[in-house]
């Protein structure tokens, strides 16, 4: 299996730390607001990847966190805490905000058929461990204290920009920033591990005692701690959006490896953005559609899942309502075909051609950096009438491949064709047999007008809904 590793910018052969086991950390949402479908695309793609690893025989421990404190309205150390923003908007307590939006998010994930994580830690449940890691960084002289915060000193960590590939000395201090930085910071790129309840944060709603004073953790330290506590000091895969490369994930590496003394992550995976009308989808621009809005527009959540599998996770995808409608129609057609398949008489896939499809699915699609669009194309190729694989084996292959796609093909009810349609189809078959093709064509059109399609096959015919 090969993965594209953002750290090396190369497609690499995957080697697990522990044979047949994978430790997988995915950056989850900051739970102060409803997640738009661009955020949900990232969650679905992590699900595709996780399902693929399970399909290939790995035992995957999957962690997706909730940030419920410390993520400021800037990915750096500026602005308002996003949870406090939610509190001011709705007049609820921070925990009530977190509970509300975690509930909505998890309901969305369920509707999208995303597998439940093994662990869903909240940052506020790991304050003790966060303080312990900060203490370690101070003792190892990787961090220093000012009146405003405790900062990680990036000059103490070699290859700080290994992930983001930036030349930090070409950046300008304070460039494009609307707030004044802490003048006691040694370097403008040093980042906060702990904010004290003072200055801009003197009225912070969520604070804890620490050996250095009352305050709250920075965003970056939270993921380092939760990953370590639940998966270990070194993990196999860490995934998130490309927006996390330059700051968040770069800082995670610096503090984790400085505190733990070992490599943090072997393979970094990053998904591209979802655009709308060729611009980045964003709630602030009024273009951050939610799953609720998608459903209210007449779509099934699985239509959205199908839409997302049409573009690779490292490629941008452009959302339009027409594109979603096309995905809806394609999924309906696939469901209709599956509904007409006979229940399998056999429970194994034995034919040589069927085995060739499995091999192509695993090796060409899934094992090559999770080419889900190729996997979807292979399914449409498989169900062509010209592919001479027994129908029961085709059905079993579809259900097997759907372990990754997650379209619930095994739950599709078999269509009951009305007796009148069956009668017309039988008359048509008789007319064809007798050479009366004009009558057969009239009957075919009659069947279509009643909402059904008839497809001739070598062994007879198949009827399905339009």
d(CA 201, CA 149): 10
Coil, strand or helix: which one is 56?
coil
d(CA 350, CA 170): 61
Q: How confident is the model at residue 51 (pLDDT cuts 50, 70, 90)?
A: very high
pLDDT, position 176: 44
pLDDT, position 169: 62
Work out the percent of the chain whose per-residue pLDDT is above 90: 77
pLDDT at 175 over 50: no
Between 372 and 390, residue with greater pLDDT: 372
Measured CA distances, 148 to 189, 202, 270, 348 (Å): 16, 10, 33, 65
pLDDT, position 442: 93
Average pLDDT taken over every residue of the chain: 92
pLDDT, position 78: 84
- Over residues 303-332, mean pLDDT: 96
> Which pair of tokens denotes residue 447?
């069947």
Q: How confident is the model at residue 237 (pLDDT cuts 50, 70, 90)?
A: very high
List of E strands, 51-159: 59-64, 143-145, 149-152
Q: Give residue limits of the domains in the chain.
A: 2-271, 276-411, 419-465
Topology adopted by domain 2-271? Rossmann fold (3.40.50)
Smallest CA-to-CA distance from 246 within 184, 186, 326, 160 is with 160
Selected from 1.10.730.10, 3.10.110.10, 1.10.287.1060, 2.160.10.10, the CATH number assigned to the domain covering 276-411 reads: 1.10.730.10
| Rounded (5°) CA angle 80-93-227 | 65
Q: Is the overall model pTM greater than 0.75, yes or no? A: yes
How many other C-beta atoms lie within 10 A of the C-beta of residue 244? 24
pLDDT, position 309: 97
- Over residues 206-210, mean pLDDT: 97
d(CA 466, CA 333): 8
């Amino acid at each position: 299996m090969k993965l594209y590793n953002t750290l090396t910018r190369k497609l690499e052969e995957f080697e697990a730390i522990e044979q047949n086991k994978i430790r997988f950390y995915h950056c989850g949402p900051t739970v102060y607001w409803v997640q738009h479908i661009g955020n949900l695309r990232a969650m679905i793609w992590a699900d595709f990847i996780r399902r693929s690893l399970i399909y290939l025989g790995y035992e995957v421990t999957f962690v997706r966190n909730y940030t419920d404190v410390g993520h400021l309205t800037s990915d750096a150390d500026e602005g308002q805490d996003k949870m406090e923003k939610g509190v001011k908007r709705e007049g609820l307590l921070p925990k009530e905000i977190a509970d509300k939006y975690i509930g909505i998010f998890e309901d969305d994930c369920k509707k999208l058929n995303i597998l439940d994580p093994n662990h869903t830690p909240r940052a506020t449940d790991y304050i003790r461990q966060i303080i312990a890691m900060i203490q370690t960084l101070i003792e190892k002289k990787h961090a220093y204290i000012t009146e405003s915060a405790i900062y990680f000193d990036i000059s103490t960590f070699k290859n700080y920009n290994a992930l983001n590939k930036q030349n930090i000395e070409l950046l300008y201090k304070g460039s494009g920033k609307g707030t004044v930085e802490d003048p006691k910071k040694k370097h403008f790129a040093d980042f906060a591990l702990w904010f004290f309840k003072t200055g801009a944060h003197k009225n912070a709603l969520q604070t804890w005692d620490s050996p250095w004073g009352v305050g709250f953790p920075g965003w970056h330290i939270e993921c380092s701690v939760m990953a370590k506590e639940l998966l270990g000091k070194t993990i196999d895969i860490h995934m998130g959006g490309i927006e996390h490369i330059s700051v968040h994930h770069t800082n995670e590496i610096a503090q984790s490896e400085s505190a733990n003394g070992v490599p943090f992550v072997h393979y970094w995976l990053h998904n591209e953005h979802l655009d709308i009308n060729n611009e980045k989808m964003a709630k602030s621009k009024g273009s951050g559609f939610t799953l609720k809005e998608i459903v209210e527009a007449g779509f099934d959540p699985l239509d959205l899942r199908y839409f997302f599998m049409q573009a690779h996770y490292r490629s941008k995808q452009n959302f339009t309502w027409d594109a979603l409608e096309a995905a809806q129609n394609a999924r309906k057609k696939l469901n209709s075909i599956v509904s007409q398949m006979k229940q399998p008489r056999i429970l194994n896939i034995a034919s040589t051609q069927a085995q060739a499809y499995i091999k192509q699915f695993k090796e060409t699609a899934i094992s090559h950096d999770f080419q889900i669009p190729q996997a979807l194309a292979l399914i449409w190729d498989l169900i062509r009438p010209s592919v001479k694989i027994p129908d029961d084996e085709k059905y079993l292959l579809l259900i097997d491949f759907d372990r990754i796609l997650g379209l619930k093909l095994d739950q599709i009810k078999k269509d009951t064709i009305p007796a009148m349609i069956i009668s017309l189809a039988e008359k048509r078959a008789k007319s064809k047999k007798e050479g009366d093709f004009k009558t057969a064509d009239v009957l075919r059109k009659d069947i279509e007008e009643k909402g059904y399609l008839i497809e001739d096959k070598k062994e007879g015919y198949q009827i399905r809904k339009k």
